[in-house]
Amino acid sequence: MRQQTKNKTLVVGLTGGIGSGKTAASDWFAEQGIDIIDADVIAHKVVDKGSITLRKIQKKFGDWVINAGGEMDRAAVRAHVFTHPEALIELEAITHPAIREAAKVQLAASTSAYVVLSAPLLIEASEAGLANLCQRILVIDVHEDTQLMRAGLRDEQSTAKIRAIMVNQLSREERNRHADDVITNEDDLAALRLQLQPLHQTYLTLAQQLKYAVD
List contacts with ligand ATP (CB under 6 A).
16, 18-24, 120, 150-151, 154, 185, 187-189, 192
Distance CA 80, CA 151 (A): 25
Q: Which is nearer to ligand ATP, 18 or 123 (CB)?
A: 18
Strands of the chain, DSSP E: 11-15, 35-38, 115-118, 136-141, 181-184
Q: Which is nearer to ligand ATP, 22 or 136 (CB)?
A: 22
Shortest Å distance, C-beta 53 to ligand ATP? 22
Shortest Å distance, C-beta 193 to ligand ATP? 9
Q: In what order do the strands lie in the sheet with 11-15?
A: 35-38, 115-118, 11-15, 136-141, 181-184
Which long-range contacts does 151-154 make (Cβ < 8 Å, 24+ apart)? 151/18, 151/19, 152/19, 154/19
Shortest Å distance, C-beta 172 to ligand ATP? 13
Q: Which is nearer to ligand ATP, 119 or 133 (CB)?
A: 119
Shortest Å distance, C-beta 12 to ligand ATP? 15
Q: Which is nearer to ligand ATP, 52 or 189 (CB)?
A: 189
